[in-house]
């Protein structure tokens, strides 16, 4: 199975870059499944139903969220209608939506997508380790699902790494999101789970985490908000992780960074090149 995970989409410029590039990426790499983190896609804060449908139409099979999941209040309603939209599994019981979703590839394989959120420097949620463990126990790799991918939306790299080793051999991949900066530690862990601490973002990297530069600098210097954060509007770079998954075991054969656009060094998954 050929799977692509794209990091947090930030604002309009990130959305446009993904929507324009994704159909071509699916064709070029013969992708079976695409997951995108969309929690910053609506002006940097949350996601709307129109944006969700735009991403699905462009070729996204699943869209994960995070701490901005419900910044757009309409998401509290429409999230129930879309199995492709997955919010953190460790939100309190009764939160609208789902924290895990079993979805099919075009070829009929079952992919379990789990979204979890860290607790270090983040909001007070339930334990992500126990929540993920319960889901993996209920839907085991190659028994309930052909592939299992976990979006670990967290601030601390230690928490992301700990969760990845906690599930190593039980999930196809653990992909870190939230910090918007792509890390260089992509690898397959000893028991076969692909991992990266952060997939990066799909947005304008001539920015502060995808936002116009001036207001973040102002807040660091003065500690007084002058205006709301606005997504940077320059040319965007697509950043993510390509994962080759063994159809027999559901574990990763290889993984590699994918980066397309300005301001960062380009990267492509050579193991899929003819």
Which domain, by its residues, includes 191? Answer: 2-272
The pLDDT tens digits for 260-271 are 999 999 999 999
CATH code of 186's domain: 3.60.21.10
The pLDDT tens digits for 187-223 are 999 999 999 999 999 999 999 999 999 999 999 999 9
DSSP reduced 3-state for 149: strand
Q: In whole angstroms, give the CA distance from residue 22 to residue 35.
A: 11
Give 54-86 as a DSSP string. HHHHHT-SEEE--TTTTSSTTHHHHGGG-TTEE
Q: How confident is the model at residue 273 (pLDDT cuts 50, 70, 90)?
A: confident
Q: Which is nearest to 135 in space by CA: 94, 96, 163, 162?
A: 163
Q: Which is nearest to 197 in space by CA: 1, 7, 22?
A: 7
Residue 238 has pLDDT above 70, yes or no: yes
- 148-164: average pLDDT: 98
- 147-162: average pLDDT: 98
DSSP bridge pairs for 100: 114
What total of structural domains would you count in the chain?
A: 1
Q: In whole angstroms, give the CA distance from residue 164 to residue 185.
A: 13
CA atoms within 13 A on the CB side of 256: 15
Residue 274 has pLDDT above 70, yes or no: no
Q: Which residues contact 180 (CB under 8 A, 6 or more apart)?
A: 7, 8, 10, 198, 200, 201, 203, 209, 210
Chain centroid to CA 214: 27
pLDDT at residue 123 in the model: 86
pLDDT at residue 113 in the model: 98
The pLDDT tens digits for 2-24 are 999 999 999 999 999 999 999 99
Active site amino acids: 68
Q: In whole angstroms, give the CA distance from residue 46 to residue 65.
A: 8
Helix (H) or strand (E) holding 111: strand 110-117
Residue 150 has pLDDT above 80, yes or no: yes
The pLDDT tens digits for 96-133 are 999 999 999 999 999 999 999 999 999 889 999 999 99
The pLDDT tens digits for 52-103 are 999 999 999 999 999 999 999 999 999 999 999 999 999 999 999 999 999 9
């Amino acid at each position: 199975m050929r799977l692509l995970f794209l990091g947090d989409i930030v604002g309009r410029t990130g959305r446009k870059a993904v929507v324009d590039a994704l159909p071509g990426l699916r064709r070029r790499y013969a992708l079976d499944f695409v997951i995108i983190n969309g929690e910053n896609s609506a002006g940097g804060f949350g996601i709307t139903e129109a944006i969700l449908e735009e991403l699905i139409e462009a070729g996204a099979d699943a869209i994960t969220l995070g701490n901005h999941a419900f910044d757009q209040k309409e998401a509290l309603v429409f999230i129930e209608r879309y199995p492709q939209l997955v919010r953190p599994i460790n939100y309190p019981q009764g939160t609208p939506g789902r924290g895990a979703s079993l979805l099919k590839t075009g070829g009929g394989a079952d992919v379990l997508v789990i979204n979890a959120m860290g607790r270090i420097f983040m909001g007070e949620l339930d334990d992500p380790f126990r929540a993920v463990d319960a889901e993996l126990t209920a839907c085991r790799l190659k028994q309930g699902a052909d592939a299992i991918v976990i979006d670990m939306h967290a601030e601390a790299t230690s928490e992301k790494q700990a969760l990845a080793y906690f599930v190593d051999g039980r999930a196809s991949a653990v992909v870190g999101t939230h910090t918007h900066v792509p890390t260089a530690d992509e690898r397959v862990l000893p028991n076969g789970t692909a991992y990266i601490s952060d997939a990066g973002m799909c947005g304008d990297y001539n920015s502060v985490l995808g936002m116009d530069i001036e207001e973040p600098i102002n807040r660091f210097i003065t500690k007084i908000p002058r205006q709301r954060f606005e997504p940077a509007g320059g040319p965007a770079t697509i950043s993510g992780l390509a994962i080759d998954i063994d159809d027999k075991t559901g574990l990763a054969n290889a993984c590699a960074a994918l980066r397309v656009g300005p301001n960062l060094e380009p990267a492509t998954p050579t193991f899929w090149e003819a």
